Chain A
Amino acid sequence: MTACFIKGVGIAAPGLAGFHASLEILRGVAPYLANAETPYAPALLPPNERRRATAPVRQAFRAAEDAVNGSGADARELASVFASSDADMTVLHRICAALAQTPRVISPTDFHNSVHNAASGYWSIAVQSMAVTTTLSAYDASFAIGLIEAAALVDDRRDVLLVAYDTTAPQPLLTKRPLAVSASVALILSAQAGAAALGRIAVSASDHPETSCANPSLEGLRVGNPALRALPLFELLAAQRAGTIALRSTGEPRIAVSFTP
């Protein structure tokens, strides 16, 4: 469907440590402070997987856990969409550097972590979910395309967790893909309103120009990570203010997201 209810929201970025903790910043009533990330360990991962989980997997989990915890949703029952432009550029760097040496020795753990759907795999193991999960990339439009994928996956029988995440690369890849920060956002979408719903969104094609953030610090974050293209929508969610934002997409039309509290 192209319209659905929002049951949970999560965010993890420098200075935005969880949706609840970020409400006043997103409403524009508290200043944004670019704090270093607070320490975090994925609570849901079994020890074996926690040891092997890479930075992008942890980044994805951080927003996903935030959305699930705030919503009361049963994570095991959620279908999921993981949207990431670049997945794991640290593992990519290690593998390509190793392949340029003699002899060529790749770590088997690096190889299985190199798949774009690593976060989705770890998530399904962590919450023991056998539900549908999809992983996609659409470069800087990954959040917009992830939202379309997730909205299309929602039906009367299943709520959907959308997680958008990207992490910074090590050099020399950073120069070629210069993301400013590591960040993730998550939404839980549902066909049912329910008591916990924060409101309703409708997604459609639009020719409106892309919406930016008025606060220059937040605007810097928005353009500094594909997941944070969600920030203008998150400002509406935090303020519980009706409105429409436009996201740059993969083609000519933008994607309009209309929010009604």
Chain B
Amino acid sequence: MKPLAITSYTVTSALGAGRAAHVSALRAERTGLTEQRFEDSTLACWIGAVAGVEACALPRDLAPFDCRNNRLAELALTQDGFIEAVAAARAKYGARRIGVFIGTSTSGVRQTELAYRERAAAASDNLPDWFDYRTTQCTYSIAQYTQARLGLTGVASAISAACASSAKVFASAARSVEAGFCDAALVGGVDSLCLTTLHGFNALQLVSPEICRPADAQRKGLSIGEAGGFALLERASASGAVACLGVGESSDAHHMSQPRPDGSVAKLAMAGALGRLPPERVSYINLHGTATPANDAAEDAAVSGLFGARVPCSSTKGWTGHTLGAAGIVEAALSLLTIEQGFMPRSLNTRELDPRIHATVLLEARAGQVEYVLSNSFGFGGTNCSVLFGPAP
């Protein structure tokens, strides 16, 4: 693909709102995960909740979109001067010519859960009048909200491929710009806490009762978090500008909720993202690293198969939790921060590295020049996506 410069980006997760909060949490080795129950959840586990999401108000003209997921989007959009950067791009390209590609897995399902709870309490057949399917529950709601909030009027799409959703937005955006359907792209991802994912992953016995421990010999599963992040992509004109350089995608064709154990197809996605860049040029890999036994083993087979033990890597799920459809954009933002800061975060909460893991998982933070970073995201349905960031040639 042709490189796309990242001219502005922002991230909001359990580590805080905006990039500075993430840098300080990463440097202080402070997790955003807490042992608490989400609202009326009956599940005892650790979660990565975003402070301030309930209190975040949408602009009055977008009130029909009000739900936890769009509030989280609003909170994330209003950090780091992002709205101003998009306004400048809108003036440059025109509102019709900036495409919107937003990843989510569950969009506003929390609103539907609340509607069903009220229906059960009232012993009613119907859902309450306040429940608006299109503007909250519909997967597209988050893309429509983002597009409207930013005053854009061109192509908009909600990419929903489970936990790879907001990595795959980089691929869709790049192809759309290359084909000429837009001149610049707004990519992002937002997923918010809800009972569906907490109890759903629990039904699959994938939720850890303790804080998640990626790559640990005693890992017991994932901790779920919520997050939102956005990036503005423009055709790279200046050499050296930080850019999205490649995206690789593949399908396991193996099982709906289990990765292919040998990692052979996930490896194809990583190789696809690298393109012609030799693997040894990669400075750091941000792993998908959910801390489920199956994911970490399969991902390690793929990473060590392609890179050996030469490239330092870590999962940042121990900091943010698994933010599902937002994981791709959160980890893209953290990858960009490692480049900016010359700082590679360690695999937080990992006490004893699984001896069956062969890649160089960072147990201590590392400082040094970070040039190229690969970020992995995998999802249910066997979908794999890897994104390469680095200097535009």
The answer to whether A172 touches B119, judged by C-beta atoms less than 8 angstroms apart, is yes
The answer to whether A121 touches B133, judged by C-beta atoms less than 8 angstroms apart, is no
Among A8-16, A32-40, A124-132, the stretch that binds chain B is A124-132
Tell me the minimal C-beta distance from A2 to chain B in angstroms. 6
B190 contacts the other chain (CB 8 A): no
The answer to whether B155 touches A250, judged by C-beta atoms less than 8 angstroms apart, is yes
Give the distance in Å from the alpha carbon of A130 to the alpha carbon of B125 in the complex: 44
The answer to whether A152 touches B176, judged by C-beta atoms less than 8 angstroms apart, is yes
Give the distance in Å from the alpha carbon of A102 to the alpha carbon of B254 in the complex: 34
A249 contacts the other chain (CB 8 A): yes
Q: Inside 8 A of A113's CB, which chain B residues have their CB?
A: 256
Q: Inside 8 A of A134's CB, which chain B residues have their CB?
A: 159, 161, 168, 171-172, 249
Tell me the minimal C-beta distance from B116 to chain A in angstroms. 4
Query: How many residues in A have their beta carbons less than 8 Å from beta carbons of B?
Result: 68
The answer to whether A130 touches B250, judged by C-beta atoms less than 8 angstroms apart, is yes
A44 contacts the other chain (CB 8 A): no
Interface centre among B42, B96, B116 (most CB of A within 10 A): B116
B10 contacts the other chain (CB 8 A): no
Which chain A residue has the least Cβ–Cβ distance from B177? A152
Give the distance in Å from the alpha carbon of A253 to the alpha carbon of B96 in the complex: 8
The answer to whether A106 touches B160, judged by C-beta atoms less than 8 angstroms apart, is no
The answer to whether B252 touches A130, judged by C-beta atoms less than 8 angstroms apart, is yes
Q: Inside 8 A of A138's CB, which chain B residues have their CB?
A: 140, 143, 156-158
Interface residues on B, range: 35 or more
The answer to whether A135 touches B200, judged by C-beta atoms less than 8 angstroms apart, is no
B238 contacts the other chain (CB 8 A): no
Give the distance in Å from the alpha carbon of A87 to the alpha carbon of B96 in the complex: 28
The interface bits of chain B over 38-60 (1 if a CB of A lies within 8 angstroms of the residue's CB, else 0) are: 00001000000000000000000
Q: Inside 8 A of B314's CB, which chain A residues have their CB?
A: none
Give the distance in Å from the alpha carbon of A2 to the alpha carbon of B178 in the complex: 10
The answer to whether A145 touches B120, judged by C-beta atoms less than 8 angstroms apart, is no
A196 contacts the other chain (CB 8 A): no
Q: Inside 8 A of B223's CB, which chain A residues have their CB?
A: none
Which chain B residue has the least Cβ–Cβ distance from A76? B253
Cβ-neighbour of B380 out of A121, A127, A142, A152 (below 8 A): A121
A19 contacts the other chain (CB 8 A): no
Q: Inside 8 A of B180's CB, which chain A residues have their CB?
A: 2
Which chain A residue has the least Cβ–Cβ distance from B131? A176
The answer to whether A101 touches B159, judged by C-beta atoms less than 8 angstroms apart, is no
Cβ-neighbour of A132 out of B140, B159, B249, B253 (below 8 A): B249
Q: Inside 8 A of B250's CB, which chain A residues have their CB?
A: 130-132
Report B's interface with A, CB cutoff 8 A.
42, 95-96, 100, 105, 109, 112-113, 115-117, 119-120, 125-127, 131-134, 137-140, 143-144, 147, 152-162, 168, 171-172, 175-176, 178-181, 195-196, 199-201, 203-204, 249-257, 265, 268, 379-383
7 pairs of residues in contact across A and B, judged by CB atoms under 8 Å: A87-B139, A111-B201, A121-B381, A137-B160, A152-B178, A250-B155, A251-B147
